[in-house]
Chains A and B, each alone.
Chain A
Amino acid sequence: MEDLVLELKKKIIEVLNLEEVKPEDINENAPLFGEGLGLDSIDALELIVLMEKDYGIKLANAAAGRDVFKSVKTMADYITANRTK
């Protein structure tokens, strides 16, 4: 799980081009959207693409992402439970 959390942090930084952010700066339990990293709706869509591309998980719509993307930890948990890649 720890490996996946670190992997996710690196991928989030890369996919969302968070240039000045390092993996150790991201608290795995902190909110990704709104506060915390302050990501927005477009970032959510990019994370949906990441889920499908790298983990084979297809989210039906943007709303489905809301709970999954609450934090890096919730993402990791969801991926562990549902990944096909």
Chain B
Amino acid sequence: MERILVTGMGIITSMGAGKAQTMLSLRKEVAAIGKNTLLKTVHNDLPVGEVPFDDDSLKSMLDCELPKAITRTTLLGRVAVKEAIEQSGLDNIRPKRIAFISGTTVGGMEKSEQYYRDFLENDRHSEYIALHDCGACTDMIAAQYPLGFDMVTTISTACSSAANAIILGANLIKAGVVDAALVGGSECLTKFHLNGFNSLMILDKCKCRPFDRDRQGLNLGEGAGYIVIESESSLRARGVKPICELSGYGNACDAYHQTASSPDGQGAYLAMMEALKSASLKPSDIDYINAHGTGTPNNDMSEGHAVMRVFGNNIPPISSTKSFTGHTTSASGGVESVISILAIVNSFIPANLGFSNRIEDLDFSPVMHSEEGVSLRHVLTNSFGFGGNDSSCIFSKI
């Protein structure tokens, strides 16, 4: 079966837009999490990872004709997609057949929550009704690629959406349905899910502290992350260079509780084991884990136990970059895949900010300071969604 190679990436988060800015920010070791300025909410005491560009700035980054009615999730997605397309040369030479698979959960909710009363009571802003659902968002992001896609769909599995988009894309290539796929996810901050997470009491009033003994919860973030994956023959036909390989992936369901993860991290364990098996790798082959690491008491304990079950006494360096970006929810699998690949390309391990004391029950501590000049053969990235939708991807150096 053909190898799946990565030929382009695009990213935008609270750290800024683009890969270069992302690396700069990761090297600075300063969390891009703070007070909301763009999102209007009564909960001004909840730190968030807001992308530092308003919608008009995002539109000018795109520098192309856009529909008048457009949502923030779409804009973020298009910015990241634009970067991925440019890096992979998709706009120069179109792969024979290409799919676009995008993950989102909020879709157009950021506009719906502003205009809901109008939707019901009058005709103002009713052009946004059709932009509410997830599929509409994907459709509008797809328009960023003028050469067009052969197949488009949307995955919505909360925090593992983008990771599952990567998995479907890879399966489509392996099955010979397409030669390439642009895959990832996009999510903007909304009052809806900020309040939702707040009602679940899993938000931290301080900056999040993944894997720390005294962690109190997560900080929400926003952003988009997409990668271009293609078969080796497509890459050769297009004359482009591979950045790294998507060597394995796994998807499993925790099936434990609607929002909480199981104490022993069964779903996470199964997803990681499946990823290793599909990559034909042993746990000892993994040189770095980009954890899901939200900073909630439940996730970090559960994921921690799962990591211990998989890696035993040889746990590789592990960090959660949600300590930089906040939890970008449906985009996180895409954002963190890009960061994992940047780690490989730059021989760099990002820090896990906010950590002071090890969780008593766990045998490991995350990486407190970033490391340079580290050759990373294989990187595992985890994305675990509400309801136990657990997915893991492995990227490998070429």
Contact = CB atoms under 8 A, between A and B. Distances in A.
A41 interface: yes
Instruction: Indicate the size class of the contact surface on chain B.
Output: under 10
B258 A61 contact: no
Contacts, number: 14
A41 B201 CA distance: 11
Interface string B20-56: 0000000000000000000000000000000000000
Contacts of B201: 45, 48, 61-62
A49 B201 CA distance: 11
Interface string B256-267: 011110000000
A1 interface: no
Contacts of B200: 45
Contacts of A62: 201
B199 A45 contact: yes
A58 to B, nearest CB: 12
A45 B200 CA distance: 7
Contacts of A42: 258-259
Contacts of B258: 42
For chain A, what secondary structure do more than half of its interface residues adopt (helix, strand, loop), or is it mixed? helix
Contacts of A61: 201, 216
B260 A49 contact: no
B199 A41 contact: no
Contact of A49 (B199, B216, B259): B199
Nearest to B201: A62
A49 B199 CA distance: 8
B368 to A, nearest CB: 26
Nearest to A40: B257
A57 to B, nearest CB: 15
Interface centre among A42, A48, A49 (most CB of B within 10 A): A42
Interface string B212-231: 00001000000000000000
B35 to A, nearest CB: 21
Contacts of B257: 40-41
A41 B199 CA distance: 12
Contacts of B199: 45, 49
A47 to B, nearest CB: 12
A48 B200 CA distance: 10
Contacts of B216: 61
A82 B83 CA distance: 55
A45 B258 CA distance: 14
Interface in A31-54: 40-42, 45, 48-49
A47 B123 CA distance: 39
Interface of B: 199-201, 216, 257-260
14 contacts: A40-B257, A41-B257, A41-B259, A41-B260, A42-B258, A42-B259, A45-B199, A45-B200, A45-B201, A48-B201, A49-B199, A61-B201, A61-B216, A62-B201
Given A45-B201, A61-B201, 12 more contacts: A40-B257, A41-B257, A41-B259, A41-B260, A42-B258, A42-B259, A45-B199, A45-B200, A48-B201, A49-B199, A61-B216, A62-B201
Closest 10 CB pairs of A and B: A62-B201, A61-B201, A45-B201, A41-B260, A45-B200, A45-B199, A42-B258, A42-B259, A49-B199, A48-B201
